[in-house]
Amino acid sequence: MNGPPEKVMKATELLRTARAALFDDHAYDDQLDDMKAALLEASAAIKAHAQNAGGKIEQVVTDVDRILKRLEGDEKKAEIRAL
């Protein structure tokens, strides 16, 4: 899989590698800090999206349960009427 979470993890690893390679060269500290901040924002956005999707899935399951119960009730009423 190569979705957003995996891309953020890969970018984080690349940032870690770059920071290690440039440990003694502080000319890039600001840019590396900006990249780190951007990765943290991306990670937070991915988590928020996942939570939102989870909430929607929960709502769908609740709706399906309600519909199934209603259908079961309708079937029982139809059986009673058929007698």
In tens digits, the chain (83 residues) has pLDDT values of 578 889 999 999 999 999 999 989 999 999 999 999 999 999 999 999 999 999 999 999 999 999 999 999 989 888 888 87
On whether the CB atoms of residues 35 and 15 are closer than 8 A, the answer is yes
Backbone phi and psi for residue 22, each to the nearest 5 degrees, phi listed first: -105, 25
**Alpha-carbon span 60 to 49, nearest angstrom:** 17
Residue ranges of the alpha helices (H) in the chain?
4-21, 29-82
Which tokens hold the place of 25? 């060269």
Q: What was the pLDDT predicted at 4?
A: 83
Q: What is the pTM of this model?
A: 0.66
